[in-house]
Amino acid sequence: MTKTPDAEAGFCRPSEERVLEILDSYGNDPQQLIAALLDIQEASGRNYVDRRAAELASARLKVPLTQVYEILTFYSMFATEPRGRCVIELCESAPCHFQEAERVLSWFENALDVKCGETDADGVFTLSRTSCVGACDGGPAARVGDEVFVNLTRDKVARLVKSLREDDPASREGL
Amino acid sequence: MSREKRLITRGLGEARPESVSDYEKLGGFAALKKALELPPEEIIAEIKKAKLLGRGGAAYPAGNKWEHLLRIPERPKYVVCNADEGEPGTFKDKLILDKLPLRLVEGMAVAGAVFRAAGGYIYVRGEYRAIQKRFQKALGSAREANYLGRNILGSGFDFDIEIVSGAGAYVCGENSALLNSTEGRVGRPRIKPPHLAEVGLFQKPTLVNNVETFASVPLVLEMGGRAYLELGHPESGGTKLVCLSGHVKRPGVYEIPLGSLTLRELIFDSDFGDGVPGGGAFKFGHLGGQSGPIFSQEKLDAVYSYADLRKAGLSVGSGAVVVMDSSVSVLAYLKKVAAFFVHESCGKCVPCREGNRAVLKRLSDLEIPSALSRSDLEDLANIAAAMSRASFCGLGQSAATHLKTAWKAFPAEFERNLRENAAFGAGAR
Ligand SMILES: Cc1cc2nc3c(=O)[nH]c(=O)nc-3n(C[C@H](O)[C@H](O)[C@H](O)COP(=O)(O)O)c2cc1C
Ligand code: SF4
């Protein structure tokens, strides 16, 4: 597995066709730029918006590139550098935090062998924190893409990491 | 007998979320039919009678907001739903979006009909991407049944709703920032006035209401404004979705008539929070989100209504009730809240951008014995006052509420480590 960021390697992730397809699916509507960029980020497989993808969006939607980057840097869900295929975001807001979220973080750090804020060498996992994900009645909670996992225990963390590593959504039903 | 009152949550868990026929069986879309037939003034009169206060946090009377917009002659008009729900401890809009989407669709369509609006937008936080996709299905089935789309139920009125996604920015819940973001731009607040009813989305007259506010509108029309008012508190009708979280045995969303319960009942009674788990003791609660007030057990007998909580120096806010037990240090909690605001401040104005940092720094120092003196504490009070007074938008204006209220409730925790007190060996107090 390569450690080189894709951006430096000169790839566009996702492919140019895929970027254009996503923009088309939102009718190339500048009002839907945020939603389109979220989809592009997801389709990148590395949870970031590549420079080339941003340029394509800018050209296609006739929005200045600076405005695209303003959005990519203002909203916390975006990244402009490759992250892991799975970004595990542990809720750090008060209701979760005071339900032992720090312990959960250390379980993730041990299971993934990365520190919070880092991506592992294989580009599979990034571990980070996030503001409230709206699952306070199930704290401590973490979000991975569209999925939210609640009432995390050491055992659940281990099963979740395994399931994500194996890219097997079925194995985390009921988690 | 449960003292919950299922109005908004009627049919929850039974009706299939995106099924129009299930929703119709619960009386769904009767209010929209009314709104298509009756003059707009009559609809708004019911909402005013109901004393429906905005459920997003600011508690502005919905009837007055609607009346204001109705009087504005300029067209087109837009209807926007605030589904940003970024307040930590708040997860009730999620319940509506995910499990009761058609009630929200109907509420927005009623507004659409009242204003003969050109279109509706629902701005949903990016963290709810999966829910956005399910909500899309509910929109689809409403269109199929012609409750949205062209010539709705043969009335000659066209109206549709489009989903717009956020991508992680708490400040976008502020309604002018929300409109900037809805236009596909960066979500920083606008200067007000002009009022959004005059210069809103795309510079056009616009209504912005919270998810729960819109979802309550069909119920007001179904029951009639008076009956809705009588169900709640004389100054604020109807029910409120309360979000219980933190150190309670039964966290979750509860729908209660406004004015029917005390904070103590909400937190301790077995049909609600059922008390603190693990044998711990209640220490403090935090109402209405991070920007709301903190209270100690002295205020547990305050009644949960807008007016009663205000009298007690508290507020309903978003409906969040976060409970913390005696293991939690007040300073540690406040630091967490201050760090949230440091992270979420959009950086546009100095009192908020620098004020939140300064608050966080001083709170951290207060944890260190003899690091600060009494004059530093005065400094902290001045910073908090300046933030409330001089910040550009509601985020900065309310970002010191947690600090000010907690200080009043727990003065000893602020003073324990002061240099003056350490000299007398008061550290153990
Ligand atoms: C920083 C900030 C964040 C806010 N977040 C939300 C939110 O997530 N959801 C919401 O409905 N209102 C939020 N509000 C309140 C809105 O500005 C506005 O008052 C509300 O959407 C109006 O709808 P309502 O009258 O139906 O409550 C927020 C306000 C501020 C200042
Ligand atoms: S008060 Fe804070 S969030 Fe509001 S405009 Fe100023 S810096 Fe931005």
Sign, CA torsion B81/B86/B87/B93: positive
Please provide the average confidence, as pLDDT, over all residues in chain B. Answer: 96
The 3-state secondary structure of chain B, one letter per residue = CCCCCCCCCCCCCCCCCCCHHHHHHCCCCHHHHHHHHCCHHHHHHHHHHHCCECCCCCCCEHHHHHHHHHCCCCCCCEEEEEECCCCCCCCHHHHHHHHCHHHHHHHHHHHHHHHCCCEEEEEECHHHHHHHHHHHHHHHHHHHCCCCECCHHHCCCCECEEEEECCCCHHHHCHHHHHHHHCCCCCCCCCCCCCCCCCCHHHCCEEEEEHHHHHHHHHHHHHCHHHHHHHCECCECCEEEEEEEECCCCCEEEEEECCCCEHHHHHHCCCCCCCCHHHCCEEEEEECCCCCCEEEHHHCCCECCHHHHHHCCCCCCCCEEEEEECCCCHHHHHHHHHHHHHHHCCCCCHHHHHHHHHHHHHHHHHCCCCCCCHHHHHHHHHHHHHHHHHCCCHHHHHCCHHHHHHHHHCHHHHHCCCHHHHCCCHHHC
Q: What is the length of chain A?
A: 175
User: Which regions in chain A score pLDDT beneath 50?
Assistant: 1-7
CA B54 / ligand 1 centre spacing (Å): 9
- The pLDDT, as a whole number, for residue B206 is 98
CA-wise closest residue to B320 among A100, A151, A131, A132:
A132
Q: What is the arithmetic mean of pLDDT over B270-287?
A: 96
Question: pLDDT tens-digit profile of B171-184?
Answer: 999 999 999 999 99
Question: pLDDT tens-digit profile of B32-45?
Answer: 999 999 999 999 99
Contacts of A134 in chain B (CB under 8 A): 85, 90-91, 94, 125, 127-128
Domain ranges of chain A: 3-74, 86-172
The token pair at A38 is 């979220």
- The pLDDT, as a whole number, for residue A13 is 80
Of all ligands present, the nearest one to the C-alpha of B216 is: 1
Atom of ligand 2 nearest to the CA of B189: 5
pLDDT at B423 over 70: no
Question: pLDDT tens-digit profile of B359-402?
Answer: 999 999 999 999 999 999 999 999 999 999 999 999 999 999 99
- The pLDDT, as a whole number, for residue B422 is 73
The token pair at B77 is 């008009």
We find that the CATH architecture of domain A86-172 is: 3-Layer(aba) Sandwich (3.40)
Count CB atoms within 10 A of the CB of residue B61.
17
Contact A76 B94 (CB under 8 A): no
Q: What is the arithmetic mean of pLDDT over B59-66?
A: 98
Our CA-based measurement puts residue A83 at a distance from the nearest CA of chain B, in whole angstroms, of 17
Residue A70 exposure: Cα atoms within 13 Å on the Cβ side: 14
pLDDT at B303 over 50: yes
This model of the complex carries an ipTM of: 0.92
Our CA-based measurement puts residue B131 at a distance from the nearest CA of chain A, in whole angstroms, of 9
Ligand 1 and B315: CB distance under 6 A: no
Selected residue of B92, B96, B123, B129 to mutate for chain A interface (largest A Cβ count, 10 A): B129
B210, B291, B345, B346: residue to mutate for ligand 1 pocket, most atoms within 8 A of CB:
B210
CB contacts < 8 A, A to B, total 129
Of all ligands present, the nearest one to the C-alpha of B393 is: 2
Does pTM surpass 0.90?
Answer: yes
Q: What is the arithmetic mean of pLDDT over B139-157?
A: 98
Atom of ligand 2 nearest to the CA of B171: 3
- The pLDDT, as a whole number, for residue A173 is 84
Share of chain B above pLDDT 90, in %: 96
- The pLDDT, as a whole number, for residue A11 is 57
- The pLDDT, as a whole number, for residue A31 is 94
The nearest alpha carbon in chain B to A71 belongs to B186
Question: pLDDT tens-digit profile of B211-247?
Answer: 999 999 999 999 999 999 999 999 999 999 999 999 9
